[in-house]
Amino acid sequence: MVIIYGLVVLDPCLLRSVVENCFSVSTGTSPQSSTSSVSSQAWKKAVAPYQDADLRRSLWQLLNSIAPFFILWYLAYRSLEISYLLTLVFAVAAALFVVRIFIIFHDCGHGSFFKSKRANDIVGVLTGIITYTPYYSWRHAHAVHHATSGDLDRRGVGDVWTLTYDEYQKLSLGMKAFYRLYRNPFVIFGIGPFIDFVVLQRFAPGSTAGKKREQMSVVWTNLALLGIFLGMSFTIGWQAFLAVQLPVIAVASSLGVWLFYVQHQYENTYWERHEKWDFATAALQGSSYYKLPRIMQWFSGNIGFHHIHHLSPRIPNYKLESCHNATPMFQEVDALTLRTSLKSLRVRLWDEDRHKMIGYHHDADEQPAVESIPVQTA
């Protein structure tokens, strides 16, 4: 299992090479420059008023996210003397705040949480320790994700491993089993996220080769986590520390991966070959509007407005909803709810003929769809 996630998360380019060379499957042609068929004037005008960070709101979000996390963590520790079931209740609550802290970390990576680059980097590094994620290394991979989301010819960095239907059909039985295991819900939302954040994030991914700052961020994060573990071991004992921290990181990582998955992995998402790929269309059609209950929207830092976030990562999370509500073109995007998002558990492959995500088999009576049309925003 660790090997599977190691290939996919740490060095997706190596995995791509294995699929292409060993099993004679092409996963994309060489990228070519393309001219956007979408007028950017309208959406750029719509997002512009929301792109400035508000220091007061940023500081308040830091306070109401980090302080409750440490309080709940302490209560979880003290409850070990009473009942481990009660400990787990506090740990799950703390995990929800870790998800919220990750959104702050995420915004710092985009340079949107503060106006100051230095402030973004300092808070990003510190919140990265809480979330077990090296800041500069993650920031690089996530920037690639934003630049390539929905581009079939530039898959492999910062995304969920996704094959087309034709690519999957050309795999050997062994590689098909390998892919199915990776996409199995128990793996991708259960043990996979824990392995990713606890184990694999301790290593520099292949995409950071030759980038000293990104690689050193992994080293410094690891040293900080080791220092915390040793410090807690000498104060409360390593058994008590792990009894609280392991369920916190397990729940938080699973929730985080689910949020990331459903933001791009749903039936009517967007994928195109590079020569036809379009940035605005990829954002508005290939990034979901996940309409969550208010409490879950708060804990997830408004990341459900992902279509807007992909259009303009410079918008801080606390302004995404206002931008959505003020702009009719953004409200036209079909919403996913908790109930309808569960259908995403069944999607596995991108069907280039039908322009949608499907399972492992075609429906016999289904006809190919017409080619997707770029979003018109002007």
Domain segments of the chain as ranges = 2-27+44-358
Residues 37/374, Cβ–Cβ less than 8 Å: yes
Residue labelled with tokens 């510190």 = 126
Closest among 109, 101, 112 to 135, alpha carbons compared: 109
Q: What is the pTM of this model?
A: 0.86
Q: From first to last of its 378 residues, what are the pLDDT tens digits of the chain?
A: 454 455 455 455 444 444 444 434 444 433 333 334 345 778 888 899 999 999 999 999 999 999 999 999 999 999 999 999 999 999 999 999 999 999 999 999 999 999 999 999 999 999 999 999 999 999 999 999 999 999 999 988 888 999 999 999 999 999 999 999 999 999 999 999 999 999 999 998 876 667 889 999 999 999 999 999 999 999 999 999 999 999 999 999 999 999 999 999 999 999 999 999 999 889 989 999 999 999 999 999 999 999 999 999 999 999 999 999 998 888 888 899 999 999 999 999 999 999 999 999 876 555 555 454 455 544
SS3 (DSSP) at 141? helix
- Enumerate long-range contacts of 322-327, CB under 8 Å, 24 or more apart: 322/50, 323/46, 323/47, 323/49, 323/50, 324/289, 326/46, 327/46
